[in-house]
Amino acid sequence: MKVQLIYPDFLSKILDWKGHFYVGLGSLSATMKRAGHDTSLIHITNSHYTKQDFLRDISKSNPDLIGFSSTTIVFPFVKRILQWMEEEGIDTPTICGGVHPTVASEDAMSPKRMDMICIGEGEETILELLDRMKTGDPSRDMPGLWYKREGDRKIIRGPLRPNIEDLDSLPDPDRDLFDMESCYWERQGILVVMASRGCPYPCTYCVNHTLMDMFGAKDFVRYRSVDRVINEINTARERWPHINGCFFDDDILFIKLPWSEEFAERYAKECNLPYRCNVRPRLLDERRAALLKKSNCASVKIGVESGNDFIRNQVLKRGLKHEDMLESFEVCHKYGFEIVSFNMVGLPFETPQTCLETVKMNAEGNVHEMQVSIFYPFPATESYEICRKNGWLAGEAKYVEDYFTDSVLNLPTIEREHIVFFRNNFKRLVRTYRLIWKLPTGIREPVERLFEQTVTRPEIRYVYDIAGTAWAGIKKGIQTIRPAKPVLEGAAGPVLKGHTPTTSPMQFH
């Protein structure tokens, strides 16, 4: 059968954004192809994508099934496409998978033209669905599937399908589904890989705690074998010789020590490409850091999220003290890892002062690069419930297409424009603190107090915005005429022929 996949993938803050390779969708496509089905992808990377664009693209495939992959933030765009289908009388069956239909199932089923949704991991569900579609009875009592009954369109809610235990039973992700010459990381020589699924931590802003409640915490974190991971990388290197580094997009790569030890030993001998991965403060101890170093890890992405102890631990439930954060930074510096921090502003109970605490933690930890996003409350998370109960949700009328441009909250403690100010000027503020802290002791304290009094005033955003706009224009001009810096230390190599990156992957923000 022919399946047309549709993936809205917006990120307006990166110049020349052409989307990224999504491992989950690649795995789904590879699973279908192995079973003899045909797949193709409409990869929508610009929110200006029109009805005419869609009609042109969908006419090329004439599919038996249209499958959307959607997060909460892009689901309004999925609904727009469904509306176009209704207007044009396109009656091809539709299904939506991904995080949003899994945790906000009723909302995902609400559009008139949404026929089915997949709840949880989709590889087994989609194969069973396609097999049943051949017989004309596609959905009765199928685990992992909700569907609208033919005739009265009543929603039939199938039981949950357990997570896939053996990840080695799945094929390697289908990279041919995507335009590898355009994907953000791959066009710059970085292969996106995942060795595991799941995260055991209860952070309230993330859906993992919701998924653990749904599917069970036992064996929620699962790993592919080291054999499979290394073979996938080496096979991809043969196919795309420009690959000179990897990004492991796992929630946290080194959770289970036995797997981590085998990986470090074998990866260094059989692959040894420099790589970047996600780590967790405090879990990143000397032992794990040594394994990362042994396996040629060059860069780690580490979640700061908030520098304020109350927000970080009572609101976000990170369970990390200020000292834990700084000790993790020290370990990273000791082993020579580049540190890329995750930070959020506009969190529940956020104030200008708590934003500055997050800025100061990055300055104090000597972080190299910072990814700064504006908090977005995902449905079915604890942080969403905090916002809902306090009446802070702006409602569907407030639509944003990414996590960098605006807030969807109406917080009483900080203006929305001030949140955007801290997001846009975060790195300048970090640099300012580093400069202030170099001043003599007698001068440093009053200068720091004056600086903090100034930037916590709402009107300061106008001054910074003018300066920021000017600097952004200069930087954009420079980036168009000068190649980006090397991707990973020691990994300088060619990017795809004919392509000059407009921004460095080490500046993913």
Q: How far are the Cα atoms of 2, 36, 92, 122, 494 from residue 115, in angstroms, in the given order? A: 17, 24, 9, 16, 45
Yes or no: say if 275 and 248 are a contact pair by the CB < 8 Å rule. Answer: yes
Judge whether 463 lies within some domain: yes
Beta-bridge mates of residue 345? 374
Same domain, 399 and 266: yes
Burial classification of residue 72, based on how many CB atoms lie within 10 Å of its CB (0-12 exposed, 13-18 middle, 19 or more buried):
buried
CB contact at 8 A, 375 and 346: yes
Higher-confidence residue of 507 and 52: namely 52
Residue 275 lies in a domain: yes
Do residues 210 and 148 both lie within one domain? no
- Predicted local distance difference test score (pLDDT) of residue 507: 35
Give the range among 70-84, 389-403, 463-477 with minimum mean pLDDT.
Answer: 463-477
Q: What angle do CA 313, 315, 320 make, to 5 degrees?
A: 15
Q: Please check whether residue 168 is in contact with residue 224, taking contact to mean a CB–CB distance below 8 angstroms.
A: yes
Which of 244, 204, 196 minimizes the C-alpha distance to 222? 196
Return mean pLDDT, the chain: 90
Q: Collect all residues with Cβ–Cβ distance below 8 Å to 281 and sequence separation of at least 6.
A: 302, 303, 320, 324, 325, 327, 328
Same structural domain, 279 and 359:
yes
Q: pTM of this prediction?
A: 0.88
pLDDT at 486: 42
459 pLDDT exceeds 80? Answer: no
Measured distance CA(459)–CA(461) in Å, rounded: 5
275-318 pLDDT, tens per residue?
Answer: 999 999 999 999 999 999 999 999 999 999 999 999 999 999 99
> Is 373's pLDDT higher than 80?
yes
402 conformational bin, left if phi > 0, alpha if psi -120 to 50, beta if neither: beta
User: What confidence category does residue 469 fall into, taking pLDDT thresholds of 50, 70 and 90?
Assistant: low
Q: How wide is the angle at C-alpha 336 spanned by C-alphas 506 and 323, nearest 5°? A: 95
Tell me, yes or no, whether 117 and 200 share the same domain.
no
Verify that 119 and 189 share a domain, yes or no: no
Residue 25 and residue 73 share a domain: yes
Domains in the chain, number: 2
Is residue 423 assigned to a domain?
A: yes
Calpha distance 9→25 (Å, rounded): 12
pLDDT at 491 over 60: no
How many CB atoms lie under 10 A from the CB of residue 205? 24
Q: Which of 285, 435, 436, 309 is nearest to 361 (CA)?
A: 309
Same domain for 153 and 193? no
Domain containing residue 389: CATH number? 3.80.30.20
pLDDT-derived band at 433, boundaries 50, 70, 90: very high
- What is the DSSP code string of 415-478? -HHHHHHHHHHHHHHHHHHHHHTTS-HHHHHHHHHHHHHHHTSTTHHHHHHHHHHHHHHHHHHH
Task: Report the pLDDT value the prediction gives residue 506, as an integer from 0 to 100.
Answer: 35
Task: For residue 499, tell me if it sits in a domain.
Answer: no
Q: Are residues 146 and 209 in the same domain?
A: no
Angle between helices 352-364 and 441-455 (to 10 degrees): 140
Structure confidence at residue 55 as a pLDDT band (50, 70, 90) = very high
- pLDDT tens-place string over residues 113-135: 999 999 999 999 999 999 999 88
Whole-number pLDDT of residue 465: 62
Pairing relationship of beta strands 94-97 and 65-69 according to DSSP bridges? parallel
Q: Could you give the C-alpha distances from 484 to 90, 404, 475, 493, 502, in angstroms and in order?
A: 44, 22, 12, 12, 6
Residue 232, judged by CB atoms within 10 A of its CB (0-12, 13-18, 19+), counts as buried
- Whether 495 shows a pLDDT value over 80: the answer reads no
Same domain, 261 and 322: yes
Minimum mean pLDDT range among 66-70, 457-461, 482-486: 482-486
Distance CA 73, CA 182 (A): 23
Same domain, 247 and 395: yes
State CA 363 to chain mean position distance: 24
Q: What is the pLDDT of residue 503?
A: 34
3-state SS assignment for residue 36: coil
Whole-number pLDDT of residue 394: 83
Query: Sign of torsion, CA 423 428 432 433?
Result: positive
Hey, what are 342's tokens?
Answer: 């995750």
Domain contains 498: no
Q: Is residue 486 part of a domain?
A: no
Whether 237 and 341 share a structural domain: yes
Helix axes 257-270, 286-294, angle to 10 degrees: 20
* pLDDT beyond 50 at 30: yes
**Domain membership flag for residue 345:** yes
> What's the domain range around 69?
2-157
Please state whether beta strands 196-197 and 94-97 pair in parallel, antiparallel, or not at all (unpaired): unpaired
Of 140, 157, 174, which residue sits at a domain end? 157
CATH number, domain at 37? 3.40.50.280
Confidence band (pLDDT; 50, 70, 90) for 504?
A: very low
| Strands in 122-200 per DSSP E | 145-148, 155-157, 190-193, 196-197
Is residue 17 within 8 A of residue 505, CB to CB? The reply is no
Whether 190 and 151 share a structural domain = no
Q: What is the pLDDT of residue 464?
A: 61
215 is a domain residue: yes
- For 237-253, the pLDDT digits (tens) are 999 999 999 999 999 99
Angle at 362 between CA 360 and CA 368, to 5 degrees: 145
Residue pLDDT, tens place only, 154-199: 999 999 999 999 999 999 999 999 999 899 899 999 999 999 999 9
Task: Using the predicted structure, report yes or no on whether residue 214 has a pLDDT greater than 80.
Answer: yes
* pLDDT value of position 11: 79
pLDDT at 149 over 70: yes
Q: Retrieve residue 69's tokens.
A: 């992959």
| Residue 208, helix vs strand vs coil | helix
Asked if 225 and 262 count as a contact pair (C-beta separation under 8 A), the reply is: no
